[in-house]
Amino acid sequence: MEILVTNDDGWGAQGITVLAKIMTRLGHVTVVAPDGPRSSTSNAISMHTPMKLQRVDISQDDRFTDEEKAQMDVYITNGTPADCVKLALFVLHEEDNSRIDLMVSGINHGSNASINVVYSGTMGACFTGGEHSIRGIGFSIDDFKQPTDLSHFEPYILEITKHLIEQPWPVGMSYNVNAPLGEIKGIKWARQCRGHWCKEIEPRVNEKGETEYWLAGEFVNDEPEAEDTDQWAINNGYISIQPCTVDLTKHDML
Amino acid sequence: MEILVTNDDGWGAQGITVLAKIMTRLGHVTVVAPDGPRSSTSNAISMHTPMKLQRVDISQDDRFTDEEKAQMDVYITNGTPADCVKLALFVLHEEDNSRIDLMVSGINHGSNASINVVYSGTMGACFTGGEHSIRGIGFSIDDFKQPTDLSHFEPYILEITKHLIEQPWPVGMSYNVNAPLGEIKGIKWARQCRGHWCKEIEPRVNEKGETEYWLAGEFVNDEPEAEDTDQWAINNGYISIQPCTVDLTKHDML
């Protein structure tokens, strides 16, 4: 298999290192990742700025074994996660787009359950894959800290990936996989929980005496009693798997 | 009514001026718009940079009549379209979020039919409205040129808005309204057409001799025969209205 790996936390993040290592067990890995943090960039693409694509020399990188290095090519870009997918498709695989059998994104540092999936650069990359008929899976851990403990999640990532790629895969679909911290009780198929953020803007006065606004806030679960949602799953010790679509039509309103 | 107006082409664009003028006929308008172009920023929000919010003095702006000026407050920000909605909610209407009865976004210069809705900053703003239970309508014209002829679309925008806000409106829903250039034959409810972009990356060598990559490409309609899609509608002289949802779950796969 030819596997594209990307994320929105950048090549410097812990999560993408772990994910790339796991994927070398399934095939050849091409990493195309942002050169720094791009959290919450959704499906943004760089319409107004030129992108660079730079090969990374991992020969001296002791996070990877020699076997893993032999299975990996790594590139970074100033673009967004969605740009990473387009660069992989139209620069690295220009001659044959269909060479990419699978793309994975993450492991994101922070949950992409509930409304967060809409803002997620991790999942934005998968949706761009979906546009181009590439099967995509995004993995996220419900913890913003780095480094964090991912050892409990790692075997599940391998098994979930192997399982999903053997199933029927409608064009345009991606999977949004979220894991809790700590002991994992099992895996649940889940729909997106209704939720929203409150108190999202924090004003601060800068050195010049000007008011600046920073994003902050608290997540509010709008259906805390529902047990079939991704938010319920990760709150209760389960990995959630949400099948997602790039068709945003609300069909029942047509 | 209290109406929030935003866009992704920035306050300097033709489309938002026309949209704000139309909306003053329905109520008081607060514009919160980007200070420059933010095309294809999807639902991106500014996690890593502080935002500014600046009042714009329109008292000498002769694009607006005195009656229109009396009904409008205008702000610009360095943020994205989705940020504009959050700033409106949590800074301008901090005391009472529910004061916003409706938000409209656009008129976007360029179609947001088919897969383009996923990348659209115009619609990203509406989806952020949807997160916060605000009714949102995005308007787009199938033409990138500015200035363009919007006179044929203007009466429809007023009538479509008046019609939609009288209908039941599920939480989290938005409408994506696209218009063709030239004569309008009518209005069609439409689902999102399957489509993708090809040849999306254009390499160019810069002054330093480095290769840079620019987004470009051509849109491909993946179901040109289907007559119930938004792409078919605008290709055949109709305005398309797509109901959209922030629930990205592919429910038939659960």
Report the residue of A75, A164, A191, A248 to disrupt the B interface, i.e. the one with the largest count of B CBs within 10 Å.
Answer: A248
Choose among B53, B74, B52: nearest CA to B63: B74
B89–A contact, CB cutoff 8 A: yes
Q: Tens digits of per-residue pLDDT, B182-214? A: 999 999 999 999 999 999 999 999 999 999 999
Taking contacts as CB-CB distances below 8 angstroms, the residues of chain B near A133 are: 196
Cβ <8 Å between B244 and A249? yes
Closest residue on chain B to A191 (Cα)? B249
Q: Residue type for A145, please?
A: K
Residues 197-226 of A with CB under 8 A from B: 197, 199-201, 203-204, 206, 210-215
Q: Which residues pair with B139 in a beta bridge?
A: B177
Q: Are A137 and A110 in contact (CB under 8 A)?
A: no
Q: How many Cβ contacts (< 8 angstroms) between chains A and B?
A: 186
Choose among B26, B4, B12: nearest CA to B160: B26
Taking contacts as CB-CB distances below 8 angstroms, the residues of chain A near B78 are: none
Burial of B95: CB neighbours in 10 Å, binned 0-12, 13-18, 19+: exposed
Neighbouring CB atoms inside 10 A of B179's CB total: 28
The C-alpha R_g of chain B, in whole angstroms, comes to 18
Taking contacts as CB-CB distances below 8 angstroms, the residues of chain A near B115 are: 131, 246
Is omega for the bond preceding B147 within 30 degrees of 0, making it cis? Answer: yes
Q: Which residue among B46, B86, B250 sits closest to A173, beta carbon to beta carbon?
A: B250
Choose among B49, B192, B27, B47: nearest CA to B102: B27
Tokens for B235, please give them: 């290709």
C-alpha B31/C-alpha B20 separation (Å) is: 7
Q: Are A30 and A75 in contact (CB under 8 A)?
A: yes
Which of the 8 DSSP states describes residue B20? H
pLDDT value of position A93 = 87
Distance from CA of A59 to the nearest CA of B (A): 24
C-alpha A7/C-alpha B161 separation (Å) is: 39
pLDDT value of position A97 = 64
In chain A, which stretches have pLDDT less than 70?
97-98
Tokens for B38, please give them: 């933010």
Distance from CA of B67 to the nearest CA of A (A): 31
Cβ <8 Å between A246 and B199? no
Cβ <8 Å between B213 and A51? yes
Distance from CA of B114 to the nearest CA of A (A): 8
C-alpha B21/C-alpha B184 separation (Å) is: 21
Report the percent of chain A where pLDDT is more than 90: 97
Strands (E), chain A: 2-6, 28-34, 53-56, 72-77, 102-109, 136-141, 173-179, 186-189, 195-198, 201-205, 211-215, 218-221, 238-245
pLDDT value of position A94 = 76
pLDDT value of position A119 = 98
Taking contacts as CB-CB distances below 8 angstroms, the residues of chain B near A95 are: none
Task: Look at strands A173-179 and A186-189 and give their pairing.
Answer: unpaired
**pTM for the whole thing?**
0.97
Q: Are A32 and A81 in contact (CB under 8 A)?
A: no
For B32-81, the DSSP string reads: EEESS--TT-TT---SSS-B-EEEE--TT-TTS-HHHHHTEEEEEESS-H
Q: Are B159 and B121 in contact (CB under 8 A)?
A: no
Tokens for A196, please give them: 């929203």
Torsion of CA A253, B196, A118, A29, to 10 degrees: 140
Q: Which residue among A39, A83, A244 sits closest to B249, beta carbon to beta carbon?
A: A244
User: Residues in chain B, how many?
Assistant: 254
Report the percent of chain A where pLDDT is more than 70: 99
Distance from CA of B179 to the nearest CA of A (A): 17
10-residue mean pLDDT series, chain B (254 residues) = 97 98 98 97 96 97 97 98 97 80 98 98 98 97 96 98 97 98 97 96 96 96 98 98 98 96
Cβ <8 Å between A47 and B215? yes
Taking contacts as CB-CB distances below 8 angstroms, the residues of chain B near A117 are: 248
Angle between helices B14-23 and B154-164 (to 10 degrees): 50
Reduced to 3 states, what is the DSSP secondary structure of residue A183?
coil
Taking contacts as CB-CB distances below 8 angstroms, the residues of chain A near B201 are: 86-87, 90-91
C-alpha A111/C-alpha A140 separation (Å) is: 6
Residue A246 CA from chain centroid, whole number: 15
Q: Tens digits of per-residue pLDDT, A73-118? A: 999 999 999 999 999 999 998 777 668 999 999 999 999 999 999 9
C-alpha A100/C-alpha A220 separation (Å) is: 38
A167–B contact, CB cutoff 8 A: no
C-alpha A80/C-alpha A10 separation (Å) is: 9
Cβ <8 Å between A253 and B173? yes
Q: Tens digits of per-residue pLDDT, A57-70? A: 999 999 999 999 99
